Amino acid sequence: MDRRAFVSRLLDNRGDLLVVASIGSPTYDVTACGDHPRNFYIWSGLGSTPTVGLGLALAQPNKRVVVVTGDGDVLMALGSLSTIGVMQPKNLIIVCLDNGHYSASGMQPSATKAGVDLADAAKACKLRVEAVTDLSGAEKLRELLHSGQGPLFIHALVDADDQPRVVPSRDGIAIKQRFMSAIGTSV
Amino acid sequence: MAHWDVEEHIHSAMQAGWPDRIHNVFKRHGIKQVGYVADNGIARLIDLCQNDSAITGVALASEAEGAGLVLGATLGGERAALLMQSSGVGNCVNTFSILKNCAAPCVLVVSMRGEHNDFNSWQVAMGSITESVLTLCGFHCVRVDNEADVELTTDAACKMAFGGGRPQVAILLGQEMVSRTKPKGH
């Protein structure tokens, strides 16, 4: 499955969705759909994306939070799946684009290439799991982003390719301020 | 915020009051999310936060998850704090970078290990470099070794973190104070 086409289908008519994208290819995939003030891009700290989504989902229980991440990010933070499983945020969806490789870092194989199953891991951590291997399932999953009960883990098997980078702002403070302005938050 | 008399609470608990005072300052500053990894030294503070309906306590599998939680809470408009022992600081070095890169406010309470007659000598390796590591990660570090200082120091740390020009502040609780005032049974 082409990752760009899949993410594009998921974020079609995205409405009020809040999107958090991990460092590397997921950030490029989300940006390729069009930069958006309700996007937050993480440019460091591989493994942090699921818990950024958790903190945001807990703070904004009436908004839908979509984490777009990859196998590398989730593997580095497998424990965070259990943290999320304990908290059971109903408004959190994790979309894991699993290509079995570290595509933004040299295309080395990841553990999932050797058969480690992140869907099984998510299920064991009390997340609801939807698996998808081709675009025919994208529309149903797009609807789940807006109305499905979380915590939901969408395990998407995507092609191992290094697509052209579509690079958003790397100014963390600017991305943060824009996001918070868009949803009207402050601390 | 509901009425909360910390002196009354400490009296009823019949034990050292520094955890209650930190919790009280957290409430005063509107901290809504507290992420932590279990630790004897801050057990009572963890309990106070977990049992407070105005605070969402999040038991983290690893301290490394804490920075993500804090950044996410910040984006969502909630102030957040982290509680961990000094060994856990070492697990966070890279993930703390997301806080620095985004100037996200974080109040970090660290119970020190390996510095005062710790029964486990292996704790010295991380405990002895904790403050230096935090400083390198961009945290402003303050120490509390006497219970009498805990409220003012925690309050100052929160003020600095939330709009005071030093978004990441760490409060290091000296092991001598923490171990002397452990609740019974810990």
How would residue B117 be classed by pLDDT, with cut points 50, 70 and 90? confident
**Cα R_g (chain B), whole angstroms:** 15
The yes/no answer to whether this complex scores an ipTM above 0.95 is: yes
CB contact A47 to B (< 8 Å): yes
For residue A87, what are its two tokens?
Answer: 């908290």
Contact predicate B58/B34, CB 8 Å? yes
pLDDT at A88: 98
Cβ-proximal residues to A34 (8 Å cutoff; 6+ apart), any chain: none
Mean pLDDT of B86-111: 98
Contact predicate B173/B111, CB 8 Å? yes
Topology of the domain comprising B18-180: Rossmann fold (3.40.50)
User: Number of structural domains, chain A?
Assistant: 1
The residue range of the domain holding A101 is 3-183
pLDDT at B179: 82
Single-letter amino acid code for the residue at A178: R
Q: What is the reported pTM?
A: 0.95
Cβ-proximal residues to B41 (8 Å cutoff; 6+ apart), any chain: B85, B111, B112, B113, B173, B175, B178, B179, B182
Q: Does residue B9 surpass a pLDDT of 90?
A: no
Helix (H) or strand (E) holding A66: strand A65-70
Q: Does residue B142 surpass a pLDDT of 80?
A: yes
Which portions of chain A are predicted below pLDDT 70?
Answer: none
Closest CA to B158 of B34, B43, B5, B66: B34
Per-residue b/e over B15-26, b at no fewer than 16 CB within 10 Å?
Answer: ebbbbbbbbbbb
Q: What is the nearest CA distance from B34 to chain A, expressed in angstroms?
A: 10
Domain boundaries, chain B: 18-180
Q: Report helix angle B18-28 to B43-50, nearest 10.
A: 40
- The H-assigned helical ranges of chain A are 3-10, 25-32, 49-59, 71-76, 78-87, 118-124, 138-147, 172-183
Q: Taking CB atoms and an 8 Å limit, are A58 and B58 in contact across chains?
A: yes
pLDDT at B118: 87
By Cβ distance, the residue of B72, B101, B104 closest to A59 is B72
Average pLDDT of every residue of chain B: 92
Mean pLDDT of B34-55: 95
pLDDT at B185: 55
- Regarding predicted confidence, which is higher, B10 or B158? B158
Mean pLDDT of B175-179: 89
Neighbours of A121 (CB within 10 A): 20
Q: Does residue B16 surpass a pLDDT of 90?
A: no
Best residue of B65, B91, B94, B159 to probe chain A, by most A CBs closer than 10 Å: B65
- Regarding predicted confidence, which is higher, B148 or B7? B148
How would residue B15 be classed by pLDDT, with cut points 50, 70 and 90? very low
Mean pLDDT of B9-31: 81
Rounded to whole angstroms, the Cα distance separating B126 from B122 reads: 8
Share of chain B above pLDDT 70, in %: 89
Best residue of A17, A27, A52 to probe chain B, by most B CBs closer than 10 Å: A52
Q: Taking CB atoms and an 8 Å limit, are B68 and A57 in contact across chains?
A: no
A164 upstream amide cis, omega within 30 of 0: no
Residues of chain B with Cβ-Cβ distance to A46 below 8 Å are 94
Contact predicate A29/A51, CB 8 Å? no
Write down the residue that tokens 């950024």 correspond to: A52
The model's pLDDT over B32-44, given as tens digits with 9 standing for 90+, comes to 999 999 998 899 9
Q: Taking CB atoms and an 8 Å limit, are A176 and B102 in contact across chains?
A: yes
Q: Does residue B128 surpass a pLDDT of 50?
A: yes
Q: What is the nearest CA distance from A2 to chain B, expressed in angstroms?
A: 28
